[in-house]
Amino acid sequence: MFPDLHDVLHGKLRDLQEHGFGETLGSVAINSQQIHQILHHPKITTDNPEGLLYRVFFHLSIILAMREGEHYQLKISQFKSDENGELKFFCYISKNNQRGIQGRQAHIILIPAEDNGPYSDIQLYLSKHPPSADENFYLQPNNTFWLETNIWYKIDHIGKNKLGNFMKKIGRETQIDIPIELLSNHSGRKTATQIL
C-alpha cells in the first residue's frame, strides 16, 4: 500500500543496525560459582529479614524460572506443604501456562525437603509471614525493630518497582562479577534454562 514508505523505513533501520543501534544486551545467566558466591555472602543470609527475603527471592528466581514481573504476582497461598514434607508451588498462570485459577489444574512444582537449601529457606520465610499480612508473597522487611519484637516482616507487600530491581540489588550487595546493568530478575530464568 505504501511501498515507498516501507523502503525508506527498511533502509533507515538497516543503516541504524550497521552503526550498532538497535542491538540490545539482555539479561545474563548466573553461573554456578556466582550462585555459590551469592548464597554464601553475609548479606544474603537467613539470620535477618532482608537477607532471608533476598535469599528466598534468589532461590525462587531459579527454581520457578520466573519472568520479570511474575514475582510481583506471587501469592502466599500458592505454596503448600504436602504429607511427604515437600513444598508444592501451584503455578496457575504465566505467559506459557494459561490454566487460570477457576476450576482448571495448576502446574505443580515440587520443592523437595532438605535441611540447608531452598526448602528450609522458604519454610523459614513462610513461618515469619505475619498472619494479618496481605496475600502477596513478598513483604516489606521490618529492618528496624525485628530484634526486639521478633516481627520480621511488615503486613504490606513490596512494590512492583522495588521488587523489579531485586536481582540488581543482590548483585550489588554480593559484588558478583557481572555488570549490574546486565543483571535483572529475568537472570534467574536464564540461569534455570542453562542448568537444564
Specify the DSSP element, H or E, that contains 123: helix 118-127
- Distance, in Å, from the CA atom of 57 to the CA atom of 7, rounded to the nearest integer, reads 47
Q: The whole model's pTM is what?
A: 0.80
- Distance, in Å, from the CA atom of 195 to the CA atom of 180, rounded to the nearest integer, reads 21
What pLDDT is stored for residue 93 in this prediction? 58
166 with 35: CB under 8 angstroms?
no
Full domain range(s) for residue 126: 26-75+115-195
pLDDT in tens, 85-139: 889 898 875 544 444 445 557 788 888 888 788 999 999 999 999 999 989 999 9
- Distance, in Å, from the CA atom of 19 to the CA atom of 96, rounded to the nearest integer, reads 35
Q: Which of 177, 180, 173 is nearest to 42 (CA)?
A: 173
Number of domains in the chain: 1
- On the question of pLDDT at 193 being above 70, the answer is yes
Dihedrals φ, ψ of 154, to 5°? -75, 170
How far from each other are the two terminal CA atoms of the chain, in whole angstroms?
A: 46
The answer to whether position 4 is within a domain reads: no
The answer to whether position 190 is within a domain reads: yes
75 with 171: CB under 8 angstroms?
no
The answer to whether position 103 is within a domain reads: no
C-alpha 2 chain-centroid distance? 45
pLDDT in tens, 19-42: 656 555 567 888 889 889 999 999
